[in-house]
Structure 1
Amino acid sequence: MGTCPAITWVNTAVLAWPGGSLFICLASALAGGDPLSMQLRATDFQAAYRACRPFRLPHHSGSLLRGALGRALRRVACHAASLTASPPCAADCAEPRRCTYTRLFDPLPPEPSPHPFVRGQTRAPQPLLPLFPPPGARHLAPHDSLPFKIRLRLLGPTHPGDTDVLFTALEAFDVIPLGREGVCLRLESAAQIGPRAHRIGLDPPPSSTVHRVRITFDTPAWLERGDSLAVDLDFRFLFRSIYRRLTVLAALYGTPEPDDDARFQRLDALAAQVRTGATSLRRAGWKRRSTRRGTHEMQGLLGEISFDGPLTAFVPILRLAEAIHIGKATSFGLGRITVDAHGAPAPGGAA
């Protein structure tokens, strides 16, 4: 485990990159400035497609595209089918602890549980994070000037054969019918973007005190209080939600740091001092249809929200949230955000 250099006067963040892992130091000016130090890695893939005939993507296309991706992955990565040359499992996986499809797309929590946040869960967040288009109907045609692109982010280490499985699944889109029209997407190109286990989400630390951030919800963010959509967001609630997701992902697919739970308490107290500013958040609701489980209600928040206050210590974790998404149903492309941080000159020119 790496260490953070000494903190002088200001909340800051220091990034190292040991052995291909993401080493995050979130330094707080509270109680000596103990940093968070959990680790994550990721590998990105991108595929470009042409529609085999004119086709209109729905306004919220994540459900449709995720369904196609799941069927393609099941087709090429079902463990039972690979052993018996039989069709892939039609329902629940017959070999969930050994199946590449289940591990990437519908994982079970490991045993024993790696963190209290994971304990008691029947399903774990999938490591395969799709970066689907933001809401908005889009028309696809075979002769479009630009291809239609899908990007995938695989969190954690890659297992032997994962890259081949993902490329084969992306190619299989041309035999997976989309929507009621049964349109196919023909693969034009597919590639790994950047190195394996690359750094995700953290820019160099801010060289000035950050007193305002504006967060844009590019795809609907499904954040809940109790069983209801959290419409009136405050920063402390948002920070807790991001921290919980990051902790779970680090426990499952990265390297958690046991002391971070205690360090969280100091950042949580600081988060309570941040005020909510201008907001244009609005609720979005729609239905997704599943051939296996029927119709389901989907929801989330779109728009922008600003926060004001002592935000420097939170910039690194907000940047990481840009890369891992926030809230529920991230496997459908939900919860993608963009963070704009505003600073002021540091006292005495300190960095």
Structure 2
Amino acid sequence: MLPLDLPFAVLRVALTAHEEVHLPPFPGSKLEGAFGRALYRLACTQPHRETCVGCPLRSICPYGLSYAPVQPPEVTASSLGTPPRPIIFRVAFGRDQVVQAGQPLTFGLVVVGTALTQLPYLLAALREVGEQGLGRTRGRLELQEVVSLNPYRELEVTLLKGGDLGVTLTPLVMRPADLPAIDAPRIRLQLRSLLHVKQGGTMVEDLQFPIMIKALQRRMGNLEQVHGGRQSLGADFGALPELARSIQTTYQYLRPASQLRKGSRRGEKTIMDGLLGTLEYAGDFAPFAPLLRLGEQLGVGKWAHFGAGLYDIEEGP
């Protein structure tokens, strides 16, 4: 097991539309952008700066910590050219959707590591997300509640209700050691959002188990070294991918999917692409269970902070 000190909290956010809201099949980037703008308006004390680079408050600002994190000087991993963000949106890939006035919009949000200390700011930003409008028509929404939950134990705590920010500021925090084991000899991964894992600079289309484990190690190690306790610094990242060779890939049904994403700058566009479908593996999953469970909640691969690379684990005989 890769040593990881990586606390996190899973939130469920519920809003109600006041106007029609038009969302794309994968709305994670829209939600992330709206949340970022709301957090910036609440937290930034130096709005005259074009970027967070050079800001003396960057390391303590709620916006800087979440949207422009700084790589710690002791972390030198080559995969950390851009430090990962500690705020992760949990949304599935589906179809274009229109949320009619009066209808609910619900999504998940994961807060990781040091970002948990900024929870009051994050909750306040969630309250502001719908005020400026969301989606293609900028439909306005109103926050109904934010609930902290443990999806493995059916526990829930209400953090915020409507405009009341003082319900509780104590979320249900989980750690890798708290996540359930995987005892079954077979598992199925149902990919809920675009999975884009690279190897040698290109997207992998044959997702053998060692490739998944290597990608999960990279993702969780990077998050832990920037936003967690940094226990994985100097750890052996080669042992688990080598052990993963003993796991058989028994079934793959994957299909490509993509979506155009507009950036924050005028004319900036990106194609988000990846794979959806089903993966089945067979073997002894005990050494890999913490990483697999972390991926189930925090995602893996490119665009994971938008909610890409999410999957559900189903255990089988």
What TM-score do the two structures reach when normalised by structure 2? 0.83
Taking structure 1 as reference, are residues 261 and 91 closer, same or farther at Cα in structure 2, changes over 3 Å only?
closer
User: Does structure 1 residue 136 correspond to structure 2 residue 95?
Assistant: yes
Question: Of 51, 61, 68, which aligns to 1:106?
Answer: 68
- Residue-by-residue CA offset, 1:208-229 (whole Å, 9 max, x unaligned): 5x43221111111111122321
* Structure 1, unpaired ranges of 5+: 1-25, 27-35, 82-87, 344-351
User: Does structure 1 residue 340 correspond to structure 2 residue 311?
Assistant: no
Partner of 1:185: 141
| Shift, 1:90, TM fit | 4.9
User: Does structure 1 residue 326 correspond to structure 2 residue 300?
Assistant: yes
- Residue-by-residue CA offset, 1:61-104 (whole Å, 9 max, x unaligned): 112221111111111111314xxxxxx75545552334321211
Q: Using the alignment, how far apart are the partners of 1:280 and 1:158 within structure 2?
A: 36
Question: Of 147, 168, 172, which aligns to 2:124?
Answer: 168
- Aligned-partner residue type, residue 181 of structure 2: P
Partner of 2:111: 154
Please tell me whether the aligned partners of residues 52 and 64 of structure 2 are also in contact (alpha carbons under 8 angstroms). no
- Aligned-partner residue type, residue 123 of structure 2: F
User: Does structure 1 residue 275 correspond to structure 2 residue 234?
Assistant: no
Q: Using the alignment, how far apart are the partners of 1:289 and 1:259 within structure 2?
A: 36
Q: Using the alignment, how far apart are the partners of 1:94 and 1:76 within structure 2?
A: 20
Partner of 1:9: none
Partner of 2:9: 43
Q: Using the alignment, how far apart are the partners of 1:143 and 1:40 within structure 2?
A: 38
Please tell me whether the aligned partners of residues 209 and 249 of structure 2 are also in contact (alpha carbons under 8 angstroms). yes
User: Does structure 1 residue 67 correspond to structure 2 residue 52?
Assistant: no
Partner of 2:211: 237
Please tell me whether the aligned partners of residues 115 and 251 of structure 1 are also in contact (alpha carbons under 8 angstroms). no
- Residue-by-residue CA offset, 1:226-264 (whole Å, 9 max, x unaligned): 2321111111111111011111111122223358733x4
Partner of 1:205: 181
Please tell me whether the aligned partners of residues 44 and 154 of structure 1 are also in contact (alpha carbons under 8 angstroms). yes
Percent identity of the aligned residues?
Answer: 26
Please tell me whether the aligned partners of residues 78 and 89 of structure 1 are also in contact (alpha carbons under 8 angstroms). no
Secondary structure at 1:281 match in 2? strand
Partner of 2:166: none
Taking structure 1 as reference, are residues 316 and 342 closer, same or farther at Cα in structure 2, changes over 3 Å only?
farther
Aligned length: 294
User: Does structure 1 residue 79 correspond to structure 2 residue 45?
Assistant: yes
Larger radius of gyration between Structure 1 and Structure 2: 1
Please tell me whether the aligned partners of residues 211 and 312 of structure 1 are also in contact (alpha carbons under 8 angstroms). no
Taking structure 1 as reference, are residues 151 and 318 closer, same or farther at Cα in structure 2, changes over 3 Å only?
same
Q: Using the alignment, how far apart are the partners of 2:134 and 2:180 within structure 1?
A: 41
Secondary structure at 2:235 match in 1? helix
Q: Using the alignment, how far apart are the partners of 2:196 and 2:87 within structure 1?
A: 18
Please tell me whether the aligned partners of residues 223 and 327 of structure 1 are also in contact (alpha carbons under 8 angstroms). yes
- Aligned-partner residue type, residue 276 of structure 1: T
The aligned runs of 1:233-272 (5 Å cut-off) are 233-257=207-231, 261-262=235-236, 264-272=237-245
Q: Using the alignment, how far apart are the partners of 2:286 and 2:147 within structure 1?
A: 36
* Structure 2, unpaired ranges of 5+: 150-156, 158-169
Partner of 1:284: 257
Q: Using the alignment, how far apart are the partners of 2:34 and 2:137 within structure 1?
A: 14
Please tell me whether the aligned partners of residues 215 and 339 of structure 1 are also in contact (alpha carbons under 8 angstroms). yes
The aligned runs of 1:87-126 (5 Å cut-off) are 89-92=49-52, 95=55, 96-110=58-72, 112-117=73-78, 121=81, 123-126=82-85
Please tell me whether the aligned partners of residues 41 and 197 of structure 1 are also in contact (alpha carbons under 8 angstroms). no
Please tell me whether the aligned partners of residues 223 and 328 of structure 1 are also in contact (alpha carbons under 8 angstroms). yes
